[in-house]
Each structure stands twice: as structure tokens, then as C-alpha cells.
């Protein structure tokens, strides 16, 4: 069985926290820009929901 040290565990937790923060920031920035992005790329609402 694999044993993880406290240092590696801390690094892994920081990496997971950073990943989660990035995902949350992505939604906070991209969701309000949805209509502008759809019009800029000429994407229909039905197609946009399938891609997301």
C-alpha cells in the first residue's frame, strides 16, 4: 500500500484547492459573459447548452 508523507499531502491539498479556486473563478467570469460570447461566435442557445 502506498504511504504519503505529510509534505506530499499538503502539496496535494494545495493543488486541489487551487484547482477548485480556478473552477469557481471560471464560472464567476464566464457565466455573465455568456450572451456576449454567444453573439461573438454566433452560437445559438441550444448549441451553447449542449457544449457546456
Long-range pairs of 29-37 with CB within 8 A, sequence gap ≥ 24? none
Helix (H, G, I), strand (E, B) or coil at 43: coil
pTM beyond 0.85, yes or no: no
pLDDT in tens, 7-50: 999 999 999 999 999 999 988 988 888 889 889 999 888 887 77
Instruction: Return the number of other C-beta atoms located less than 10 Å from residue 29's C-beta.
Output: 9
Amino acid at each position: 500500500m502506498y504511504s504519503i508523507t505529510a509534505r506530499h499531502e499538503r502539496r496535494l491539498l494545495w493543488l486541489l484547492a487551487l484547482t477548485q479556486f480556478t473552477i469557481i473563478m471560471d464560472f464567476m467570469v464566464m457565466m455573465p459573459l455568456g450572451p456576449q460570447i454567444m453573439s461573438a461566435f454566433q452560437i445559438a442557445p441550444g448549441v451553447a447548452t449542449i457544449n457546456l
